[in-house]
Structure 1
Amino acid sequence: MTSPAMPSVATGIARENTDRILRMFARFTSVGYLAYLALLYPSITTTTPLMHRWWTPLAVLIVFGSGVLPGMLSFRRGTAAMRSAAAVAALAFLTAAFTWPLAWTGLQLPGDDGVWLAAFPGLASLAGIIAWSTSVAFIHLVIGCTAVQMINLVARANASAPMLIPEITFAIMFCTLFVGGAAMALRTGRLLDATTDTTHAAAARAAAQRARAVERERFDALIHDGVIATLLAASRPVHRQSVRALATTTLRELDELHTIGDPDQQITISEALAQLRTAAVDVDPHTAFVVTSPESAEMFRIPLSTVRSMSAALSEALRNSHLHAGSLATRTVTAAVETDSISIDIADDGIGFDNAAIPPHRLGIAVSILGRMRHIPGGSARVDSEPGRGTTVHIEWTAL
């Protein structure tokens, strides 16, 4: 006997929270680059005569131009381009620092001034945190702080060589406050993602165990009501025709049990709608079940495993509505069938809720509805709700 197909559990750890923090840091870093460009403009113009004419415009363009890119790319769906841009920004800062000696004319700044690169090595390392591991970002921090302080030592008039080590140390410690804070925030995001992934996996395993228990109960009931009853009837002096009829019924039920257990089987849209209607009625006999279907969809077939998942999501949505919509709420289930898809809306006119206010540990929607449907090839789900305006759960499957 095959137990019902359950949603597979993703093997990789989710990155939703980590990516959200990375996007936030990318935007913060880009805004920081723009702010430093405005603040350092007088210093940039002051130090331009010290350099060959080609270096300052090119360095400003490369350093600040690359610094703005991560924030711009943070609005894209994926984070790969954003992280690559952050790596370019971090390396651009070091490139400007390492090419400075090649473009220096030998003129010196006043002793109380410094090169503009020395103002924000920590911001460049913050871009490194977005792109690389924490250890690599801290190596970048040490190299950047050391390089710009050595440039200050050479470029400033009457600079004190013995103060080089204390200034490097202070710069590293000061920048570490921000880069270290960013590293801890990212670590928290990764831990939260790992915890969320583990929790969802545990919920999926628990759902699979419940499904197996239901299957065992169904099988036990069939054994008791069919097989044992047939054997008892055969052992008693009753009419053979009655025994034959009972045995035929039991064998048919056993065959149906085997068929239902085949997740690869495809069923007609009429059979699928019957199962979905049964799932709705089992939870709430008073729920209206409305079907819209063109005649061209009569030959449409659906995998049985998909129907099971949709039935389970439908049942969970109705149960949630009974628990949370309020005692006066009414519910309607609308199934729309097309030639290659089926969608179901479970709507109520209850009190509604705010999606953002749902605690992370409440998994009824995240796992039993959204997660279950998203694990089906071609499946999708969403929940629309507002306080005081009811709730609509939309589940859909499209043949691939």
Structure 2
Amino acid sequence: MAPVPAAPDAPPTANPAGVALARVYALFPAAIRLSCGIAVAAVALAVREPPVQAVPLALAVVVLTIWSYVFYRQTIDNGIRARVVLVDAALTITACLAMEVLVAPAVMPGGVSWVAVLASTSIVTAQFALRVVHGMLLGLTIAAAYCVGAILAHDVDEAISHSAVLVAQTFLAAGLVYVTRRSARAADSVFSAYQRAHRETVIARAAREAERKQNRDLHDTVLSTLTMVGLGGVAGQSAMLRARASSDLRTLFDPARRPALDPTAKVSLDERLRVVVERFEGYPLTAALEPCLVPSAVADALAESADAALSNVVRHAENAVAWLRLHRTRGAVVVEVIDVGPGFDMAAIPPYRYGIRESIMARMAAVGATARIDTAPGNGTRIQLEWVDVG
């Protein structure tokens, strides 16, 4: 019997929104930290009026410039990490507390000094790596360090005004990060639900297809052969009965013991149809089969549909002459089953009848092929199975 196809593999990315957000959270802090480091170095060295001390300033510029590059490489290579932003915050806090010897009094007011820019940058980047509460605490700590440093530099107005700005930046940056993280989680939750539903649908569809194939196999083999015997279309000791019984057993049990072919691999359709002809040994059947290569799945559908059509001939058109033809025409592969039996009225077939609806029509539709049935009472039957050779 046909095995139920395996369930599709789980998607490699289970949370695409989270992954995309993490990528942005790595690139954005790395870029602003590197650009800030370069700008800070240039601005810090440009203003060296007393009481700025050359040695501490030079040391701060060298350390912070090197650190900016290290921060950039670490974040780009490994993503934004808590330990990296903690080191960054420690250096920023040190610079804030040392503003008295690092920043000239003339550039202190208005939060335009390089230390003020450094503090803002550290506060923003910290929010991307830490939880919201921890990021806010670290931002407030940096703001407090700036306030203390400005007071030590004898600029109380700057200590109050820009510290308030840094506190506002902390809350705004933390709020933005919170909203984006929550949105990403919501998007991933919706995506995961969709993936689960899609996976269940694919599994259910695969199970239904396997069940339909099993039903077709049973209908076209054992049930078909028993029906022929019951209707008298096949004699109990005939060569056809022996051939069909042997073929039925192979169809039902051999697929479990042999590897499945690649559905796209080309096989000889005429050879497959000759196997079908052998199942009707002793019946007045004439076969004209041109050599033809088609994908394995198409060959299965055409051969099994032709077998089902011929079985109908044996059951319902006893001793009628039948023909099986295979030929190419207008870029298509055509298999025809023709008989001079009594024919039938297609409109009169009950919807519960399985043979034509499933064994022929549905089987052909499953591989993108078509089946056309031309028949009428007293006029015989022509069944044309056609697959357009897209290759």
TM-score under structure 1 normalisation?
0.54
Q: For 1:240, which of 237, 241, 262 is the aligned residue?
A: 237
1:133 counterpart residue number: 131
| 2:167 is aligned with 1:172 | yes
- Give the residue type in structure 1 aligned to 2:67: S
Deviations 1:37-56 (A, max 9, x none): 26743676347x44582x33
Q: 1:2 to 1:57 in 2, by over 3 A?
A: farther
Contact 1:97–1:148 (8 Å) recurs in 2: yes
Q: Distance between the aligned counterparts of 1:231 and 1:254, measured in 2?
A: 15
Other-structure match for 2:91? 95
Q: CA deviation at 1:215?
A: 0.8
Residue 274 of structure 1 aligns with which residue? 266
Identify unmatched segments of 5+ residues in structure 2: 268-293, 302-329, 334-365, 370-387
Aligned length: 278
Question: Measured at CA, do residues 240 and 137 of structure 1 come closer, stay the same or move farther in structure 2, by a change above 3 Å?
Answer: farther
User: What percentage of residue pairs aligned between the two structures are identical?
Assistant: 14
| Paired residue type of 2:10 | V
Distance change (3 Å), C-alpha of 1:139 and 1:175? closer
Distance 2:80 2:184 in 1: 16
Mapped partners of 1:41, 1:92: distance in 2: 18
SS at match of 1:240: coil
Q: How does 1:1-400 map to 2 (within 5 A)?
A: 2-10=3-11, 12-14=14-16, 15-30=18-33, 32-34=35-37, 36-37=39-40, 40-41=43-44, 45-46=48-49, 49-50=51-52, 53=55, 55-69=56-70, 71=72, 81-84=78-81, 87-89=83-85, 91-98=87-94, 101=97, 109=105, 113=109, 116-157=114-155, 159=156, 168-233=163-228, 235=230, 238-241=235-238, 242-259=240-257, 265=259, 273-274=265-266, 277-278=295-296
Q: Deviations over 1:294-328 (max 9, x none)?
A: xxxxxxxxxxxxxxxxxxxxxx9x99xxxxxxxxx
**Residue aligned with 1:83, SS:** coil
Give 1 or 2 for the bigger CA radius of gyration. 2
CA shift digits 1:318-375 (9 cap, x unpaired): 99xxxxxxxxxx9976xxxxxxxxxxxxxxxxxxxxxxxxxxxxxxxxxxxxxxxxxx
For the 8 Å contact 2:127–2:135, the answer to whether it is kept is yes
Alpha-carbon distance in 2 for matches of 1:42, 1:194: 50
Cα shift at 1:65: 3.5
Distance 1:244 1:132 in 2: 77
CA distance in 2, matches of 1:111, 1:60: 17
How much does 1:165 deviate? Answer: 6.4
Asked whether the 8 Å contact 1:121–1:144 carries over to 2, the reply is: yes
Shift of 1:252: 0.9
Runs of 4+ in 1 over 6 A off after TM superposition: 102-108
Alpha-carbon contact 1:280-1:287 (below 8 Å) kept: no
Query: Structure 2 CA distance, aligned partners of 1:32 and 1:183?
Result: 25
CA distance in 1, matches of 2:21, 2:218: 51
Unmatched runs of 5 consecutive residues or more in structure 1 = 289-315, 320-329, 334-400
1:252 partner amino acid? R
Summarize the Cα distance change of 1:92–1:105 in structure 2 as closer, same or farther, 3 Å threshold.
Answer: same
CA-CA distance at 1:152 after TM superposition = 0.8
- Structure 2 CA distance for aligned equivalents of residues 95 and 24 of structure 1: 21
For residues 191 and 202 of structure 2, the distance between their equivalents in structure 1, rounded to whole angstroms, comes to 16
Deviation at 1:253, TM superposition (A): 0.9
Is the contact between residue 17 and residue 193 of structure 1 (CA under 8 Å) also seen in structure 2? no
Aligned-partner Cα distance in 1 for 2:44–2:144: 23
The verdict on how the C-alpha distance between 1:102 and 1:121 changes in structure 2, with shifts beyond 3 A counting, is closer
Aligned 8 A contact 1:122 1:178 in 2: no
Q: Which amino acid aligns with 1:176?
A: F
The two structures have a TM-score, normalised by structure 2, of 0.55
